[in-house]
């Protein structure tokens, strides 16, 4: 029997008001996994109103008490990690070791941010006037809309929801339509941990039917969105018109730079993992390989051999290296870029086609692909393909590699492989992405450090670490004057005499 799931609004589970539903499908097999609400503006309005009603009590709860609820949620996630991972793989497609990592990121974020309940530090500073105390404190923004993608269906929601909660905000969460069960599992975890009704509300539905009314709702104070640049720019325009605070995390066209002196075995391990992990469907996936010419032929030959050896299959099968892409639309998009590559003069060295033989024909599988003879200005070197495709670009020097790396509309993640510490530090200085790895691949975040990018990747905010607190709080500056008389800043201050 297939289970029918519901929205979580005001502490109650309820179907969409319209009665509409949407099927959750396994992208590897086509199997029906569950039925979820197809929510609309009425459901969004119910959820936002519930969040608004819960806000005063939640923000008044002492931070350490909020932290205790999140610690309990972390314990639930630990106990159910394997269960949640095994339910995530069939709905998203990535292999089991990666879905375990997805849940682990949610665990790490929950424990880390729970500790902020006893910190969430402000600032104190000397006043320029006598008998006067000056300080800054954080306060919650208010009602937060969290809109998340399908590629990390538990980690990315946790990156938004958990920091927002510990800061005293209430939330309406609209997860991706392709991965609703993982969002449901996260919501159930917080419910089990004792989160008060209305503090977190979950509305399942499409971007057009549920996401747009959520962004436009007048009671929503902050929109936090992770997804495509196209959708993010549309949200940015709407948020500007409505005067809403906005946090965007969008695309990437990430590169691995490999210098002549690099450890090729280590570099190849990093390339394979970064390019083809999650079937290339990570915002930090490596889609460009910038290689110094002295090792170009050897590295390319070994990369093609490693890529052709990767095994496609269902993510729950232990022998699988690369799972399916998330849906048919994404499969068609990736396949379309192969014709773009050919027309621009690139060579498809391996892969480059839909895998539709045998059991693979039931799902959305694309063969891991290496493109060679790629020039820096080609579309396949500039646009985010979001699939298991990597483009090899030859360069003559570190300076050229840095220039090629920075010459894209995005600025999320870069990796450089070299044994020369001087080259490594020149790369650190010259590369203009938000994340930089030396002798490691482009993927892999740590929750206590800021995550985000430059240029078209975002709008200046960061997720995770202390930086996340700046997204979900506002600063309040407080002056306490105990002089017993009127003091006027600047006016009553004389310049210090030498």
Question: Is 283 labeled as catalytic in the residue annotation?
Answer: yes
The DSSP string of 337-366 is: HHHHHHHHT-EEEE--SB--SGGGGGS--B
Q: Which residues of 228-265 are buried (b: 16+ CB within 10 A; e: fewer)?
A: bbebbeebbeebeeeebbbbbbbbbbbbbbbbbebeee
Longest Cα–Cα distance in the chain:
86
Which of 98, 191, 209, 249 does the annotation list as catalytic? 249
User: To 10 degrees, what angle do helices 96-115 and 81-92 make?
Assistant: 130
SS3 495: coil
In this structure, what is the dihedral angle of CA atoms 263, 264, 270, 272, given to the nearest 10 degrees? Answer: -170
Distance CA 438, CA 421 (A): 10
The answer to whether the beta carbons of residues 269 and 237 sit under 8 Å apart is: no
Which of 283, 350, 384, 463 does the annotation list as catalytic? 283
Question: Is 75 labeled as catalytic in the residue annotation?
Answer: no
Distance CA 153, CA 173 (A): 12
- Please name which of 289, 283, 252 lies closest in space to residue 268, comparing C-alpha atoms: 289
**Kind plus residue range of the DSSP H or E element containing 126:** strand 123-126
What is the number of residues in the chain?
498
The DSSP string of 428-493 is: HHH--SSEEEESS-S----TTS-B--EETTBSS--BSTTHHHHHHEEEEEEEEE-SSS---TTTT-
Distance CA 163, CA 171 (A): 11
Distance CA 183, CA 181 (A): 5
Catalytic residue numbers read 249, 283
């Amino acid at each position: 029997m297939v289970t029918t799931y519901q929205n979580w609004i005001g502490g109650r589970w309820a179907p969409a008001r319209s009665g509409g539903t949407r099927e959750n499908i396994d992208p590897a097999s086509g199997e029906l996994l569950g039925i979820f609400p197809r929510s609309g503006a009425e459901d969004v309005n119910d959820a936002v109103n519930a969040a608004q009603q819960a806000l005063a009590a939640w923000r008044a709860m002492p931070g350490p008490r909020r932290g205790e609820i999140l610690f309990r949620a972390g314990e639930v996630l630990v106990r159910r990690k394997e269960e949640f991972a095994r339910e995530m793989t069939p709905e998203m497609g990535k292999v089991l070791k990666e879905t375990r990592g997805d849940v682990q990121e949610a665990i790490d974020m929950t424990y880390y941010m729970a500790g902020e309940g006893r910190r969430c530090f402000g600032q104190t500073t000397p006043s320029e006037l006598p008998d006067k105390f000056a300080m800054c404190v954080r306060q919650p923004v208010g009602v937060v809309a969290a809109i998340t993608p399908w590629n990390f269906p538990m980690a990315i929601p946790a990156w938004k929801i958990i920091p927002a909660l510990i800061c005293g905000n209430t939330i309406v969460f609209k997860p991706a339509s392709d991965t609703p069960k993982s969002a449901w599992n996260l919501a159930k975890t917080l419910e089990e941990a004792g989160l008060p009704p209305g503090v977190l509300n979950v509305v399942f539905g499409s971007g057009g039917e549920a996401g747009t009314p959520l962004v436009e709702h007048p009671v929503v104070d902050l929109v936090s969105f992770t997804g495509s640049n196209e959708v993010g720019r549309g949200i940015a325009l709407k948020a500007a018109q409505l005067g809403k605070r906005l946090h965007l995390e969008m695309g990437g066209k990430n590169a691995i730079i490999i210098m002549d002196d690099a450890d090729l075995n280590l570099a190849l391990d990093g390339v394979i993992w970064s390019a083809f992990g999650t079937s290339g469907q990570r915002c930090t996936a490596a889609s460009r390989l910038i290689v110094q010419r002295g090792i170009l032929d050897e590295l390319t030959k070994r990369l093609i051999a490693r890529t052709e050896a990767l095994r496609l299959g269902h993510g729950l099968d232990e022998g699988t290296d690369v799972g399916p892409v998330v849906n048919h639309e994404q499969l068609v998009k990736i396949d379309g870029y192969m014709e773009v590559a050919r027309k621009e003069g690139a060579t498809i060295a391996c892969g480059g086609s839909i895998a539709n033989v045998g059991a693979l024909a039931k799902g959305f599988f694309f063969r891991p692909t290496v493109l060679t003879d790629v020039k820096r200005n080609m579309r396949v070197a500039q646009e985010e393909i979001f699939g298991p495709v990597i483009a090899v670009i030859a360069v003559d020097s570190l300076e050229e590699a840095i220039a090629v790396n920075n010459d894209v509309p995005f600025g999320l993640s870069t990796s450089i492989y070299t044994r020369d510490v001087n080259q490594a530090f020149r790369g650190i200085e010259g590369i203009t992405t938000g994340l930089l790895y030396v002798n490691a691949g482009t993927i892999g975040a740590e929750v206590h450090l800021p995550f985000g990018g430059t240029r078209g990747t975002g709008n200046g905010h960061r997720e995770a670490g202390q930086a996340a607190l700046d997204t979900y709080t506002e600063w309040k500056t407080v002056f306490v004057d105990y002089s017993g008389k009127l003091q006027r800043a600047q006016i009553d201050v004389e310049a210090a005499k030498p």
